[in-house]
Amino acid sequence: MASREDLGSWLEGGATPSGDGATRLGLPADGPGAMASLGPRVVALCVDWAVAWGVAALVARGNEFVPLAVLAVMNVILVGSLGFTIGHRLLGLQVRVLGRPGEGAVGGAFVGFRRSLIRTVLLCLVIPAVVWDGDGRGLHDRAAGTVITRR
């Protein structure tokens, strides 16, 4: 069970991805394979939202849940098969499986559709995605056993 010390809080600013969280996860502090900072992750999500809205506008009009459904389907398929969404790709990010403690992100490990589905459901619920653990990962990544790194 997670304790209060394990979880970052938006009131306290949470942990920073470039801080000691990367070291605890076994990731390099900088360069390829390092944990992605919050800015590029947010921009990537905005790009994905824009793509989802564009596709939804072409497919169905008048239903406000269609863009969310398109975003969810894009995330499950793209992260599950390629390890990144369109926004991640444009910003040089990748979703990787996190290995055992001290092992870091597993290099070419396939994220898979089960992990991708867990991540996506929690991402669409919003709250788990904006609450960080002590390592600077969103709770959706923690639940799925993944981390977003720089490519």
With respect to residue 88, please indicate whether it lies within any of the assigned structural domains. Answer: yes
In the chain, how many domains are there?
1
Going by pLDDT thresholds of 50, 70 and 90, the confidence category of residue 106 is: low
With respect to residue 90, please indicate whether it lies within any of the assigned structural domains. Answer: yes
Q: Helix (H, G, I), strand (E, B), or coil: what is residue 10?
A: coil
Confidence at residue 64, expressed as pLDDT on a 0 to 100 scale? 83
Query: Cα separation of 110 and 52, whole Å?
Result: 24
With respect to residue 3, please indicate whether it lies within any of the assigned structural domains. Answer: no
**Is 139 within 8 Å of 129 (Cβ atoms)?**
yes
Q: Which residues pair with 118 in a beta bridge?
A: none
With respect to residue 112, please indicate whether it lies within any of the assigned structural domains. Answer: yes
- Burial of residue 25 (CB within 10 Å: 0-12, 13-18, 19+) is buried
In which domain, by residue range, is 135 found?
A: 13-150
Q: Strand runs (DSSP E) across 17-98, as ranges?
A: 93-97
**Is 75 within 8 Å of 113 (Cβ atoms)?**
no
Going by pLDDT thresholds of 50, 70 and 90, the confidence category of residue 137 is: confident
Q: What are phi and psi of 51, to 5 degrees?
A: -65, -45
pLDDT digits (tens, 9 = 90+) for 29-64: 788 888 888 899 999 999 999 999 999 999 887 788
With respect to residue 61, please indicate whether it lies within any of the assigned structural domains. Answer: yes
Query: Cα separation of 36 and 18, whole Å?
Result: 8
How much is the pTM? Answer: 0.77
Query: Cα separation of 79 and 120, whole Å?
Result: 9
Q: Specify the residue for token string 């390092």.
A: 34
**Is 69 within 8 Å of 116 (Cβ atoms)?**
no
With respect to residue 96, please indicate whether it lies within any of the assigned structural domains. Answer: yes
With respect to residue 81, please indicate whether it lies within any of the assigned structural domains. Answer: yes
With respect to residue 72, please indicate whether it lies within any of the assigned structural domains. Answer: yes
What average pLDDT does the structure give for the chain? 81
